[in-house]
A and B are shown apart, each in its own frame.
Chain A
Amino acid sequence: ETGVTQTPRHLVMGMTNKKSLKCEQHLGHNAMYWYKQSAKKPLELMFVYSLEERVENNSVPSRFSPECPNSSHLFLHLHTLQPEDSALYLCASSHRGPYNEQFFGPGTRLTVL
C-alpha cells in the first residue's frame, strides 16, 4: 500500500447505526486530518491530529468521534447520524508545519438514510 488509504469506500447506514471509517497513511507524516466535503461547498476541516494529539476540533457534533491510536492510523466513529451528514469524508496527512502539503485518501462516500 502506498499513500493514504481509506476504508470503506462507500457506506450506507441508518440513523441508529454505529459505524467507523478507517484511514491509514504510508508517507511517514506526523499529522492527519478528517474533512467533510458536501456538494458545492468548500472542504470543511473536522479534526486534526498532530503526533497523535488532537489539535483542532471545529465544532463538530458529538455524533462524530475521532480516534488516532498512532501516527499512521486515524478513525472516525459514527453514531446516530442525520441525513444531512451524508457527504464525502476525506482523510489527509502531512508533515506538520508552515509548508506542509496535504495528501488525501480516496474518501468514503457516506449516505445516511
Chain B
Amino acid sequence: QKEVEQNSGPLSVPEGAIASLNCTYSDRGSQSFFWYRQYSGKSPELIMSIYSNGDKEDGRFTAQLNKASQYVSLLIRDSQPSDSATYLCAVMDSNYQLIWGAGTKLIIKP
C-alpha cells in the first residue's frame, strides 16, 4: 500500500517566523513530489513541485527533497497570516497517479 504521511497539526507559528512542514512517503520509486495549499472551503492550489534531491526555492517557499530518507519538506519564510491553510503533500506513483497525504493545518499567529 503506497502511503504519504503528514502530521495533521495544527502547527502554530508566529508571524514572521519560519514554518516547516514535513511529509514522508513509502514508494521508493517515486520521482515527482508536489506541495499544495488549501484554504478552508476552497480547492487545492499548487505551490511547488520538486523532482531532484536538494532544495528548490520560489519566493518565500523552499521545497526540500531527500529520496534516500523518503521525505519531502516545505519551508515558508517570513510567515504571514495569509499563509494559514492546510498544506497537502502529493507523491506521484509509477502510474502517474498522485498519492495524497491528509494534510497539515498551519496557523500563523499575528
What residues make up the interface of A, taking CB atoms closer than 8 Å to B?
40-43, 45, 48, 56, 88, 90, 96-107
Q: B71-110 CB contact bits vs A (8 Å, 1 = yes)?
A: 0000000000000000010101001111011110000000
Residues in chain A near residue B45, CB distance under 8 A: 104
Residues in chain A near residue B4, CB distance under 8 A: 42
Point out the residue from A42, A100, A107 that lies within 8 Å of B101, measured CB to CB.
A42
Q: Do A99 and B49 touch across chains, with their CB atoms under 8 A apart?
A: yes
Q: A40-B102, A42-B4, A90-B43 are in contact. Are A98 and B97 (CB under 8 A)?
A: no
B42 contacts partner chain A, Cβ-Cβ < 8 Å: yes
* 29 examples of A-B residue contacts, CB within 8 angstroms: A40-B8, A40-B102, A41-B102, A42-B100, A43-B88, A43-B90, A43-B98, A45-B98, A88-B43, A90-B43, A90-B44, A96-B96, A98-B92, A98-B96, A99-B32, A99-B49, A100-B92, A100-B96, A101-B34, A101-B46, A101-B49, A102-B46, A102-B90, A102-B98, A103-B46, A105-B43, A106-B42, A106-B43, A107-B43
What residues make up the interface of B, taking CB atoms closer than 8 Å to A?
4, 8, 31-32, 34, 42-46, 49, 51, 88, 90, 92, 95-98, 100-103
CB of B52 to closest CB in A, whole Å: 11
Q: Give Cα A48 to B8, complex, Å.
A: 27
Q: Give Cα A103 to B90, complex, Å.
A: 13
Q: Give Cα A102 to B47, complex, Å.
A: 11
CB of A91 to closest CB in B, whole Å: 9
Name which residue of chain A comes closest to B95, CB basis.
A56
Q: Give Cα A109 to B4, complex, Å.
A: 25
Q: Give Cα A104 to B46, complex, Å.
A: 9
Q: Give Cα A104 to B44, complex, Å.
A: 6
